[in-house]
Amino acid sequence: MNQEGIAQSPVSPALTRSMLRTLGLVATLSGLLVVLSYRTTLPIIEENKRLAIERALFKVIPGAVSRRDFVITDRGIEPAQPDLSGTALYAGYDLDGQLKGVALEAAAAGYQDVIRILYGYDPNCQCIRGIDVLKMAETPGIGDKIAKDPAFLENFTALEARPSTSGSGLEHAIVSVKHGDKSEPWQIDAISGATISSKAIARMLNDSAQRFAPLILNNLAVMEAAS
Amino acid sequence: MPGLPDQHEPVTLDTFLRGLWEENPVFVMLLGMCPVLAVTNSAINALAMGLASTFVLVASNSLVSLLRHYIPKQVRIATYIIIIATFVTMVDYAIQAISLDLYNALGAFIQLIVVNCMILGRAEAYASKQPLGATVVNGLGIGGGFTLALLSLGVVREVLGSGSLFGIALFGENFQPWVVMILPPGGFFVLGAWLLIFSAFRLRKQRQLDQEGVAQHDS
């Protein structure tokens, strides 16, 4: 109601009550419907999210069929518990319960927005075995090739991420090189025309692996025992 | 406190068809342009957005129509927004339950149905004055028109921009997709082309009607 309207005709108590009653009723009804639909869809949504994580997980850890959740804390790697906060880490096991690899999330700024990926790290070959793009807003047809281009994904079948002998960081930093210039196993062959997106992938993998690869190798027993 | 006075009109086939053609929310009234341009980069996104908007439109306008005698006109807009927001939240959860991929593709535009002026416009201009039956029929028509319009854009943009339709590749390997079509400018190009076609049709019909009128006058 506008200011003039109020000045001309003061709102009668009956009208105030009527407005309060209507808004109260509609808001109550609204709350009821929202809670009802939230409760109904919650288990389905949780299941969908779990399936989405597992689909990505089994894609980046070849051979894995089951998973367990861990958390990277100041003390090392511990099994996930609701009150434990830290970087999430998923371990994938094969049918015999052998640890096939671990998966971690990594993120860096891309061309348009932050790119978030899940990558699989294989402690046996000390290399990255696969990536799956979880979220991106790269240009369709150009930057979004990081998710689908087979030649680019070929980089991540065995991308070396070997910890240095001193135990902190990697022996060779993961870098992206111009398309066709890849000569070392720790280099990523960039997509021609999508240099920024390719570099973002290299940067996020390098940052994450520098920090976590030595840690993962030092705590393998925790995850092997959990299967 | 009564709401706005009722203006009953008989429910006919026209109540439904008007929304598809004569009062098409996108091509004629140019309402709700934000999702029209933003999520029509593939046919499936366009269809999902159209159906979600139609559900919110029909459900919220039905409730508005049922409550029309009890909503004081001073708080009607606030009441409409609460009702619309409720159904949008329900759709939001429903789409997450149906498919997370679809939910991620549509992004914030599901929540933004709340401020789609097509829906608030229908509540204010139609549902608040009409009985339930007419409101549902009209809502289905307008929603259908909106879905149809989104699909018209989505199909053209996906075929030209990705060389596929509903995710199924249409052309061979050597088809070079017209990437600009799935980028934001493509939305404007395709919308402009459709508006041109629609306006040309309406102009021609108008001219025909005028000529008939002149002919009758002469005889």
Look at residue A142 and tell me whether its pLDDT is greater than 90.
no
User: What is the percent of chain B where pLDDT is above 90?
Assistant: 42
B169 Cβ under 8 Å from any chain A Cβ = no
A18 closest CB neighbour out of B72, B78, B179: B72
Domains of chain A: which residue ranges?
9-47, 61-226
For the range B166-173, what are the long-range contacts, defined as Cβ-Cβ under 8 Å and sequence gap of 24 or more? B166/B43, B166/B44, B167/B42, B167/B44
Q: Is B70 on the interface with A (CB under 8 A)?
A: yes
Q: Is residue B51 part of a domain?
A: yes
Query: Which residue of chain B has the CA closest to A25?
Result: B79
- Using CB atoms, pick whichever of A48, A141, A142 lies closest to residue B97: A48
The reported pLDDT for the residue numbered B205 is 87
For the entire predicted model, the pTM comes to: 0.77
- B7 domain-assigned: no
A1/B74 Cβ within 8 A: yes
Looking at this predicted complex, what is its ipTM? Answer: 0.78
Residue type, B2: P
Are residues B97 and A44, on separate chains, in Cβ contact within 8 Å?
yes
Chain A nearest C-alpha distance from B95 (Å): 9
At B211 the pLDDT is 87
pLDDT at B86 > cutoff 90: yes
Most A CBs within 10 A among B56, B69, B74, B99, hence the mutation to make, goes to B74
How buried is residue A93: exposed, middle or buried, by Cβ count under 10 Å (0-12/13-18/19+)?
buried
Please tell me the distance in Å from B190's CA to the nearest CA on chain A.
17
Say whether pLDDT at B63 is over 90.
yes
User: Measured between beta carbons, which residues in chain B are less than 8 angstroms from residue A33?
Assistant: 86-87, 90
Q: A117 φ, ψ to 5°?
A: -130, 165
Are B93 and A45 an interchain contact pair (Cβ–Cβ within 8 Å)? yes
Q: What is the mean pLDDT of residues A97-101?
A: 87
- Which region among A4-13, A50-59, A180-189, B188-197 has the lowest average model confidence (pLDDT)? A4-13
- In this predicted structure, what is the pLDDT of residue A24? 92
Mean pLDDT of A199-222: 89
- CA dist A17 and B1 (Å) reads 10
B10 part of a folded domain: no
pLDDT confidence tier of residue A5, bands split at 50, 70 and 90: very low
The answer to whether B108 contacts chain A (CB < 8 Å) is no
Identify the pLDDT of residue B189.
Answer: 94
Name the nearest CA neighbour of B58 among B133, B108, B151, B161: B133
Residue B119 placed within a domain: yes
pLDDT mean over B173-192: 87
Q: Is residue B217 part of a domain?
A: no
User: In angstroms, what separates the C-alpha of A222 from chain B's closest C-alpha?
Assistant: 33
Query: Quick one: pLDDT at residue A37?
Result: 95
B74 in contact with chain A, both atoms CB, cutoff 8 A: yes
Predicted pLDDT at B106: 85
Test B83 with A30 for CB contact under 8 angstroms. Answer: yes
- For residue B203, is it within any domain? yes
CA A107 to chain B, closest CA, distance in angstroms equals: 17
Answer yes or no: do B82 and A140 touch at CB < 8 A. Answer: no
Q: Which of B82, B161, B177 sits opposite A30 (nearest CB)?
A: B82
Q: Given an 8 Å threshold on Cβ–Cβ distance, is B1 in contact with A15?
A: yes
pLDDT of amino acid B2? 45
The yes-or-no verdict on residue B219 having pLDDT over 80 is: no
Q: Which conformational region is residue A86 in: left (phi greater than 0), alpha (psi within -120 to 50 degrees), or beta?
A: left
Mean pLDDT calculated for residue range A143-165: 88
The whole domain housing B93 covers 15-166+178-211
pLDDT tens column, B8-42: 667 778 888 888 888 888 888 888 888 888 888 88
Read off the pLDDT band of A199 (50, 70, 90).
very high
In this predicted structure, the answer to whether residue B67 has a pLDDT above a threshold of 80 is yes
Tokens of A176: 């992206």
Q: Does any domain span residue B143?
A: yes
Q: Is B3's pLDDT higher than 50? A: no
Task: Judge contact between A209 and A174, C-beta under 8 A.
Answer: yes
Q: Across chain A, what does the average pLDDT equal?
A: 86
What stretch of H or E contains A148? Answer: helix A145-148
More confident residue, A11 or A70: A70
For residue B5, what pLDDT is reported?
54
Look up residue A185 and give its DSSP letter.
Answer: T
Please indicate, yes or no, if residue B37 is contained in any of the structural domains: yes
pLDDT at B108: 80
Q: What is the mean pLDDT of residues A164-181?
A: 85
pLDDT confidence tier of residue B192, bands split at 50, 70 and 90: very high
B1 falls in which pLDDT band (50, 70, 90)?
very low
Number of domain units in chain B: 1
User: Model confidence at A141, in pLDDT bands (50, 70, 90)?
Assistant: confident
* Interface with B, mutate which of A4, A12, A38, A45 (most B CBs under 10 A): A45
Mutation target to probe the A interface, by most A beta carbons within 10 A, among B55, B82, B114 is B82
Is residue B172 over pLDDT 90? no
Asked if B90 and A19 come within 8 Å (Cβ–Cβ), the reply is no
